[in-house]
Every structure is written in structure tokens, then in C-alpha cells.
Amino acid sequence: MVTIADVARHAGVAPSTVSYVLTGNRSISAGTKSKVRESIRLLGYRPQTPDRSLAAGRTNVLGLVLPLRAGVHLPVVMRFVAAVAVAARRHGMDLLLVTADDGAPGLGRVADSAQADGFLVMDVEMDDERVPVLRQLTKPSVLIGHPASTKGLTCVDLDFEAAGALCVDHLADLGHRSIGFLGAPGAVYRRNAGFAHRTMAGFSAAAMRRGVAVTALPSEEDHDSVLRATKALLRAHPSMTALVVHNEPALGWITGCLRAAGRTVPGDVAVVAICPDEIAEQTSPPLTSVRLPVAELGRRAVDLLVGKLDGRQSPPLMLLPPRLVRRGSTPELGVARRA
């Protein structure tokens, strides 16, 4: 069966452009219309196919459901919004941002409106109350993140469990045997945010596998909380020589907080962060990090959603493997001690 995506590839245009030509919802140049119509003729695309009926009702708008809750770090969130917006524009589509924290009822109300063709959903919890609504929607959706069960869903995420393990393996390979973990704000763990719990699970499992002593604490996003958590980690493990930080706001303060506790980076404590590259590169010294691939996650999520709109099948879960970039905060252990 010939789909809108097939026509788009043949004509060298975005699938949304084919939809515009079919529906007349937007002004398209005569030359582009001619190319699309010629591709429709050559490929034998039939207007009565399911794709045609779907295209006829399109708004060419994607909804991004991103509730602004406690513990959500706005600068990183805005990177996701920008990545999704850029990816949507590549398909000739606009973006509707929904930030209210109305849970399942709010999602149902938004989905019932005619404002968006499909939805991208963020800040996904392990037992997210929105999942039953998403499974029943007639409009397609893609989650950036994934709940405990992905049955009947389409999700894309960083493999956060592997990311937590990668941090431990990198530090253990350098010789560290006592590692702290500075986590997200307590509210993030209390609402069972998938990314936070999976990172902690991966970190803990890798520590047991490598025979490494670890202590983990959450931290709020202000300087005093980061300082208190840092000192508490050091009291619990005075021999701690490395620290994994999964809390973007804390990264700007962590070197100073360790210094206030009598430790230097990387001389006394090596630091690995889980964050976007730009944040890790702004500190002094620049931090070794497992990168949060914001642009790739946004692009893949949009591509999956547009594919579903065009009738293509999608896997229930696409996990991106973590990648560690080594910088000045994790030298060889002997080198750090001599520095």
C-alpha cells in the first residue's frame, strides 16, 4: 500500500507537505503542488486509503505535554522544547506546548481538542497515570521517557540504567573504591520519575558488581542544599574519592561545595556528571560526563510520531545507549593525588 511517506520521498518533500497539498490547509507553491501530484499519479496513491482519511483531518501541529513540576530543571527542559520544535519544523509542522500539571484528566481534555494531530509526552513516571489515557487515544503519541510497562505505547529514552552503570565502571576502572552519588531533588524520586530511579538502580547494581562502596543522597536545587548533601556524603564515607552527580543545578556549585568541605576537584575527588555536554563543559575543571542527548531524543521522538501519523509501525521502546565523554575531572587516580 502506498502511503503519504512514500509520496513524500518520491517527490522530495516532507510528509506534511503532501498533506497540505491533499487538504489545502496551507498555501503551497504551484511547482511543489505539481511535483506532489505527479508523484501521487506515478505511485498510484489512492485518496480513499486510511492515510488519506487521516491526512484530511490534520492540523499539522504536534502537542508537547510537559508538566512543570517540582524538581523539573527549566534550562534543560527548554533544550528539549527547542529540539522538538526544530525537529517538527523539519517535517513542516508546528508545536503546541502544554505545561499544566493536570495529569490524566488534563491530557484527556487536550487530546479531545482538535488542536494537535498527535502528542509527545515528557516527565514520564514509572507508574504514570497518563498511560491508560494514551493507550486509549485515537490520536498517536510518543513518550520521551518510559514507564514500567511499554505495552501499547511508543517510547524513546536514554538508557539511564546503563548510564548510571557506566559512571561507576569508568571510576572503578580508574581505581576508585568509594563513590558518592548526588541525585535529583527528593520530589523527583517521590513521584517515581523513571529517569531518576533507573539511573540510581544502574549505579547501585554496578557498584555491587564492581565491589565499590557507595552512598547516595538526593539534593535540592539551591546552593545550601547541595553543600549540606556534599558534606553528608563525606561524613558517611570519609574515604570517598569520586562523586557521580545526576542533578544539573548542582553542577555549577559542586566544585565549590567540595572545596568548602576541604576537598579539591580532581585532586581529592573525581566527578562524573549525567547532563548535556554544554553544562559539563562550563565548569572548572570541565566535568567528565555521560551526555544527555537532548537533540537526538527530540528528533527521534518527532520522527516516530510523524511516522505513526503516516501509518508506519513503531517499536514500543527505543533506548539510546549512553556515551561517556572524559574531561578534566577524572584523571588517572595516581595523577590526581599528585596534582
Does pLDDT of 80 surpass 70? Answer: yes
What are the start and end residues of each CATH 3.40.50.2300 domain in the chain? 61-158+294-320, 160-290+324-338
Find the helix or strand (DSSP H, E) in which 290 lies: strand 288-291
pLDDT tens-digit series, residues 298-324: 999 999 999 999 888 889 999 999 999
Q: In terms of CATH architecture, what is 61-158+294-320?
A: 3-Layer(aba) Sandwich (3.40)
> Terminus-to-terminus CA distance in the chain, angstroms?
66
Q: How much is the pLDDT for 53?
A: 40
Rounded mean pLDDT of 215-222?
A: 94
pLDDT band at 180 (very low <50, low <70, confident <90, very high): very high
pLDDT band at 337 (very low <50, low <70, confident <90, very high): low
pLDDT band at 51 (very low <50, low <70, confident <90, very high): very low
Q: How much is the pLDDT for 105?
A: 76
Rounded mean pLDDT of 115-130?
A: 91
What are the start and end residues of each CATH 1.10.260.40 domain in the chain? 4-56
Rounded mean pLDDT of 21-40?
A: 79
The DSSP 8-state label assigned to residue 125 in this structure reads: B
Given 1.10.260.40, 3.30.70.790, 3.40.50.300, 1.20.1250.20, which CATH number is that of 4-56? 1.10.260.40
pLDDT band at 39 (very low <50, low <70, confident <90, very high): confident
Let me know: does 85 contact 95? Beta carbons within 8 Å: yes
Q: How much is the pLDDT for 37?
A: 85
What is the biggest distance separating any 2 CA atoms in the chain, rounded to whole angstroms? 74
Does pLDDT of 160 surpass 50? Answer: yes
Distance CA(36)–CA(44), nearest Å, equals 12
Mean pLDDT of the chain: 88
What is the CATH number assigned to the segment(s) 160-290+324-338? 3.40.50.2300
pLDDT tens-digit series, residues 250-304: 999 999 999 999 999 999 999 999 999 999 999 999 999 999 999 999 999 999 9
- Helix ranges (H only) for the chain are 4-11, 15-23, 30-43, 50-56, 74-90, 103-112, 131-136, 160-173, 186-190, 194-210, 223-236, 248-251, 254-260, 277-281, 294-309, 333-338
